Chains A and B, each alone.
Chain A
Amino acid sequence: MKSNDSPFFERLINNIWLLFVLGVLIYFISYIGWGMYEIGSVPDFPDQLKQETLK
């Protein structure tokens, strides 16, 4: 067991489960979350171009 005297970052990085959760969470947010945001923010096809093409 680690003593409480060790530096905060040593205790943090020694926690493999925390690193595991961060490893999954960070990539989930940056890849899947960002991708979902991108898909959700795609605009509709412009009406003006639609009318011009169908004219």
Chain B
Amino acid sequence: MSLHAPAEGWYSKKVASDEKWWVALAATVCLITFFWMVIWHVYGKQNPGHQTYKIKEAEFMQLSEAFNKKHQIGEENGIPVVAPPSNGDVFLTAQMWRWSSIPVLVKNEWYTFHLSSADVCHGFSVQPINMNFMVLPGYDYVLRFKPNAAGDYKMFCNEFCGIGHQTMIGKIIVVETQEEIQNLKLTQPKNP
């Protein structure tokens, strides 16, 4: 960019045809990408819901603990394994440096995840499908979710959250049918 204005009268000069073509090309790319965003939002599968609520950290932890207590079916390394009902709500709290539960979901059933943090900003990264969302204290991020393949999925924190950040790895288990949940080999909770 020049700090000096071009020679007087430049505004009235004819624009060269190659410049017009480049401007038209750039404008076309802009319009295509703009409308593609709108089309993807309408026709794309499993777009984020854009629903967020304000909630105090302590209140969300209370909800998360109540949810765990209601749906716990076992535990793994001290983390409750929970089986929420289909089309139900799943409360998941991120906290330095753990996830509050291991949800067991059924393939092709819808769930409503409520994500929040008890302390600092965390990231909710589900791998290997590569879903990434931010988890903020004071806000409940609502995510409608329908797993479409059975297996174990890792939940990583992908926002640096302190000295133990790299150890903050959780799990989501997706099973083929509701009956399979009964057959999971789980440690029973010590204090159910």
Contact = CB atoms under 8 A, between A and B. Distances in A.
Contacts of A9: 11
Nearest to A10: B11
Interface string B68-95: 0000000000000000000001010000
A50 B54 CA distance: 12
Nearest to A7: B11
Interface size class of A (residues with CB under 8 A): 10 to 19
Given A44-B54, A53-B89, A7 B12 contact: yes
A40 B11 CA distance: 43
A36 interface: no
Interface in B108-163: 139-140
A21 interface: no
Interface size class of B (residues with CB under 8 A): 20 to 34
A55 to B, nearest CB: 8
B172 interface: no
Contacts of A10: 8-12
Given A6-B9, A7-B11, A13-B11, A42 B66 contact: no
Interface in B1-46: 3, 5-6, 8-12
Contacts of B140: 45
Interface of B: 3, 5-6, 8-12, 52-55, 59-60, 62-63, 66-67, 89, 91, 139-140
Interface of A: 2-3, 6-7, 9-10, 13-14, 16, 42-46, 49-50, 53-54
